[in-house]
Amino acid sequence: MPTGEPRFSELLQRAINRIAFLENKTRQVVFDELGYALGRQGGSAIQYWLYHQRVPARLEDVENLALIIAHRGGWEHESELRSFLSRAGHPHADALIRQIFPNDAIPSSAPAAQPAFIVGPPILKPHQFFGRTRELRRIFAALNSTPMQNVAVCGLSRSGKTSLLHYIHTITRTPAAALRPGQPQNWLDEPQRYRWVYVDFQDPRVCNREGFFVYILRQLNFPAPASLDLIQFVDIIVRYLVNPTVILLDEIQIALTNPEFTQQFWWSLRSLSSNLTDGKLAFVIAAQNQLPVLQNSLGKPSPFLNIFGHSIQLGPLSEEEARQLIQSSPIPFSQSDADWIIQHSGCWPALLQILCSTRLVALQENQTDEIWKADALANIQPYRYLLETP
């Protein structure tokens, strides 16, 4: 490490002094607060590292200190954090620095490098997402309010719930250059203040309570001490949550039937949103069934589901929105082809993607017959239940 770098204790001292100045607190109060955040009984460990010029023995303490200090504005420059981690001997400093000092804007990527139509996986790139203007207006109106309000998105499998959640997660932070011309993104009054967390309950990392707690806290750059329990999780959220924060919970029905997530867990999430965070925390959930049906399937009321006053049922796109998707093809479709795709897709986005992809491949291969239509109908066969929905 560079010989000119300040010692670990000096860097920690600077950070504590800065926090004390910014928050108009004594250094002893900051010592104690940092100690409690690390799971200690006060600030004695902090003082030991300072006055004995020692480095914490546990890597976890170094990382949590770095996160806590960053959250409280203790690092004046990224270089201070880098020196702090270097002096502590952190083996993966660059990765932690990227986590603590992320570029809040979503990196721009060239739309031309992406496939024209997405068949199978959810839409992840905002420029490939079409429609849902009415639904987006309702969702962002709830998130733009004070206090923030919770929203449930319901719909059949393949109706586009996950794509919609990813779009909400990214659209307000995506550079205009990475969007289609004229694609709206000014859904929030102060988008730069918002913090976003997307959770997929199919992800094994969040299939138990402790995994869920750690994942949420790390996504928000909050301290995540070892042996994290429900009370500690709630306390950390209440203590550190300052900005409007939206947690998007996908496949919520999986979590509701998971015994790891007890009634007390759901009561706690409800309380965080309703009472403990001054209206700065909202949830957007996605489920296959409408909330009353979901409640009945559980056999008992869920305290968490009762906070969702806004419930949105996903259906097909409007015809205008569907035609915008069709017109995004790099090789223009004829009017008759577009009409055929509208008719046989019912304007469902998943079916539109499949039919458009099949037609585009046929054009790229210079097929001049109508065989592509038979292929297209075969490709959407597994999802025809969408067309049979009342």
Instruction: Give the span between the Cα atoms of 347 and 317, in whole angstroms.
Output: 5
Break the chain down into helix, strand, coil percent, rounded to 5: 55, 5, 40
Those residues whose C-beta lies under 8 Å from the C-beta of residue 3, and which sit 6 or more positions away, are: none
Side by side, the strands of the sheet bearing 310-313 are 195-200, 245-250, 281-287, 151-154, 310-313
- The confidence score (pLDDT) of residue 93 equals 85
**Which SS3 state, helix, strand or coil, does residue 102 take?**
coil
Q: What is the pLDDT of residue 111?
A: 42
153: phi then psi, degrees, rounded to nearest 5? -110, 120
Rounded Cα distance between 69 and 66, Å, is 5
Measured torsion, CA atoms of residues 382, 386, 387, 390, in degrees rounded to the nearest 10: 150
362 token code pair: 């046929």
What does the pLDDT read at residue 74? 85
Given the candidates 3.40.1710.10, 1.10.10.60, 3.40.50.300, 3.30.479.30, the CATH classification of the domain at 119-313 is: 3.40.50.300
Residues 6+ apart with CB under 8 A from 159: 314, 315, 348, 349, 350, 386
Residue 368, pLDDT score? 80
Closest Cα partner for 345 from 12, 113, 11, 119?
A: 119
pLDDT in tens, the chain (390 residues): 445 568 899 999 999 988 887 777 888 888 988 988 888 888 899 999 999 999 999 998 999 899 888 888 888 778 889 899 999 999 888 888 877 766 555 555 444 457 889 998 999 999 999 999 999 999 999 999 999 999 999 999 999 999 999 999 999 999 988 899 999 999 999 998 899 999 999 999 999 999 999 999 988 888 888 778 999 999 999 988 989 999 999 999 999 999 999 999 999 999 999 999 999 999 999 999 888 888 887 776 788 999 999 999 999 999 999 999 999 999 999 999 999 999 999 999 999 999 999 999 999 999 888 899 999 999 999 999 999 976
The token duo for 306 is: 């009762």
pLDDT reported for residue 110 = 46
Distance CA 233, CA 57 (A): 24
Distance CA 312, CA 189 (A): 22
| Contact in structure between 99 and 222 (CB atoms under 8 Å) | no
For the entire predicted model, the pTM comes to 0.76
pLDDT at 105: 57
How many CA atoms lie within 13 Å of 195's alpha carbon, on the beta-carbon side? Answer: 18
Do the Cβ atoms of 188 and 140 come closer than 8 Å?
A: yes
What gap in Å lies between CA 301 and CA 317, rounded to an integer? 32
